[in-house]
Amino acid sequence: MRIRIGRAKPLEIDGPYAALNVMAHRWPDVRGDRYDKAKRLCMAALGRRVAACSIKDDFIEACIEADILEDPH
């Protein structure tokens, strides 16, 4: 999936590591419940406590909440 933060070039997010990196270092100030849930799930996926493929929808919801989703595919 691709996200765009501000006027920067789109970023390709290809898994929980990339998602968590963006959430930790480049995420806009919009950090609601969906952000919190997606961040927890990314950490759980990296710790192999949940399947990485199962967290995509939660990350998409966090991106929608922050208005940074460019392409969900």
pLDDT at 73 over 90: no
Count Cα atoms within 13 angstroms, Cβ side, for 11. 21
**C-alpha radius of gyration, the chain, whole number:** 11
Rounded mean pLDDT of the chain?
Answer: 95
And the tokens for 1? 């999936």
State the pTM of this model: 0.91
DSSP, res 3:
E
- The residue range of the domain holding 21 is 2-71
Q: Which residues on adjacent β-strands are paired with residue 11?
A: 3
Domains held by the chain: number: 1
Q: What is the pLDDT of residues 20-50, one digit of tens each?
A: 999 999 999 989 999 999 999 999 999 999 9
